[in-house]
Structure 1
Amino acid sequence: MGSEAITLALNGNRSNLVVICAEDKTVRLKDLKPGDSALYHLEGHFFKLTKGKTGELIADTLNISVKQVNITATDGVDITAPDVSISGNLTIGGNCEAAGRVIGQEGGTFKGIESETHRHKENGRDNLSDGPQ
């Protein structure tokens, strides 16, 4: 069918038309509820605002390039992904729990004790153990 457009004649002059909206019905989002708003692309990715103050973004890739990102989520944040990578430092203000192993390439410090150099008395005797292996 092709695209449809809404035009505006500047100063009422039909020889001076401006397209203010263009769309293709074949890629328009279906099943939007009354009050929903959406921005969509012909390749199928979209951003939708729905009832209940919900936003939905569907795409293959989301690139965000800003100086600072602040997220406030009063009920929690869930990330479902096979891998999550962070390229810089990570500061956690609360507890950290891991269901799997914690692996560090350069050791770690726990309550002031260095995991790479920690030694202790062997079996209650005065001689000290070797450091971790």
Structure 2
Amino acid sequence: MSTPTLARALLRDFETQLVDATLDEGPIEDLLSFPRFTLTRVIKTVDAIALVNHTAAITHIGEVQSHLAQMLQAIDSVLPRQAAELTMHQARPKLAGIVADVPQLIDWLQQLDPFVSSFGELWK
């Protein structure tokens, strides 16, 4: 499985976990622990993608990395250690925006496929 394919699969898992978490009630730090962990795995996987030396590829992966970092920051902003104690009901609007962005990120990762270096995949 190529690195972008793995990143897309993890991103789909993240979306499912986040939707499930937002439908539940309970301590927000417990509900968001698995989606946050999966998102950090997505970020590390995207960081490990080896691309050919092409300006479009570098610009594109930079946009993906920036957007993923913003998603992680948005999740962290609703956790008790960063903000006032929020309930899941209060955090849902911010988390809904994250869920809405996932299909676009999957498309962006799909667009990176032609730029993946075949030599980079050999060394993994």
TM-score, normalised to structure 1's length?
0.16
Decide which structure has greater strand share: 1
Bigger relative CO (Cα 8 Å, ≥ 6 apart): 2
Structure 1 or 2, whichever has the larger Rg, is 1
Decide which structure has greater helix share: 2
TM-score, normalised to structure 2's length?
0.17
